[in-house]
Amino acid sequence: MVEFWGGARMMRAKLAYIVGLAALAACAVMVHAGPSGGTVSGKVTYEGTPAKQKPIDMSKEPSCAKQHTTPITTETVVTGPGNALDNVVVYVSAGAADEGAPSQAAKFEQKGCQYIPHVLAFQVNQTLEIANADQTSHNIHPLPKVNREWNKSQPPGSAPIIDKYDKPEFIPVKCNIHPWMHGNFAVLKNSHYAVTEGDGGFSLPNLPPGKYTITAWHESYGDQSQDVTISGSEPKIVNFVFKAKPY
């Protein structure tokens, strides 16, 4: 054995060992960089005084009114602790490739004469499933400008409505029968998005190295964009601050 590993053979073996290790390390690095990539995270906050949300009078729909012991308020601006701004869609608007739709459906529910969630983000051509959990009829009336506009009635107990959108757009949704009901669809081109809630935090993981534009959209305050460059796997912090309007 000692004879086998001596002299030039030893040198070549060491060389092969080092090369092999390096290759393994490179593979590990590659594998590591693939799924885990870079992360953009941050918080969306507001400054100033947001408009007061008004309580909603549901007396015209008693079956919904009795589901709320205290009347719910409008949701044009929903805030959280520490001046957090909720219901903001944070997404990659440039720099990432368009992706095919995932197989699971995006679910939108009408409950207590409210849209749950208030803002639903999903992808182009992803199945949208709208359910009516109330004892009253609703009509689903999304109001797109780029996509097709449709309007369907959904009585209680009927099957969920299945549809999809083929162009990216922010679409307001309303129910004509219950005029206080307002929601939003955010139809996006890729899977890198998040909707803030609670403390206003968001996280966009799995971003390959490159330059990206991150856009934050709020239904009342418009949108803001910031550029960020991902070079490795270190997290990048991007915060958005919206100016609140008192009206």
Partner 1 sequence: MRTMNSSKLFLGIAALLVMPLVVSAQDGESHIGKLSGHTGAGKQLYFRYCWGCHGYRGDGNGENAPYLNILPRNFVAATFKCRSTPTGTLPTDADLYTSLGRGFNNSNMPSWIELTDQNRADLVAFIKTFSPRWKTDKAGDLIKVPAEPKLTVESIKHGGELFQKLECWKCHGQEGRGDGPSASTLTDSNDQPIRPYNFAAGSRFKCGSTNEDLYKIFITGLDGTPMPSFADVIKPEEAWDLVHFLRTLQVTHKSPELALWGSTKEGAEQIASRRITGTPTGSGIKQ
How many C-beta atoms surround the C-beta of residue 219 within 10 A?
A: 20
152 contacts partner 1 (rule: CB under 8 A): yes
30 contacts partner 1 (rule: CB under 8 A): no
- Of 73, 111, 150, 203, the one binding partner 1 (CB under 8 A) is 150
143 contacts partner 1 (rule: CB under 8 A): yes
177 contacts partner 1 (rule: CB under 8 A): yes
Residue carrying the six token digits 């290759």: 23
In the complex with partner 1, the residue whose CB is nearer, 90 or 181, is 181
- Of 53, 79, 125, 139, the one binding partner 1 (CB under 8 A) is 139
- Of 155, 208, 209, 222, the one binding partner 1 (CB under 8 A) is 155
- Of 53, 76, 79, 153, the one binding partner 1 (CB under 8 A) is 153
Of the candidates 224, 225, 246, 228, which has an alpha carbon nearest to the alpha carbon of residue 237?
A: 228
- Of 83, 87, 154, 184, the one binding partner 1 (CB under 8 A) is 154
CA distances from 159 to 16, 129, 132 (A): 64, 10, 8
CA distance 75 to 195: 15
133 contacts partner 1 (rule: CB under 8 A): no
In the complex with partner 1, the residue whose CB is nearer, 33 or 177, is 177
148 contacts partner 1 (rule: CB under 8 A): yes
**Do 168 and 96 meet the contact criterion of CB atoms below 8 Å apart?**
no
In the complex with partner 1, the residue whose CB is nearer, 74 or 139, is 139
Helices (H) and strands (E) in the chain, counts: 2, 19
CA distance 45 to 221: 12
66 contacts partner 1 (rule: CB under 8 A): no
35 contacts partner 1 (rule: CB under 8 A): no
How many C-beta atoms surround the C-beta of residue 168 within 10 A?
A: 17
Burial of 247 from C-beta contacts in 10 A (0-12 / 13-18 / 19+): exposed
55 contacts partner 1 (rule: CB under 8 A): no
Chain residues binding partner 1 by CB under 8 A are 60, 136-137, 139-141, 143, 145, 148-155, 158-159, 161, 176-179
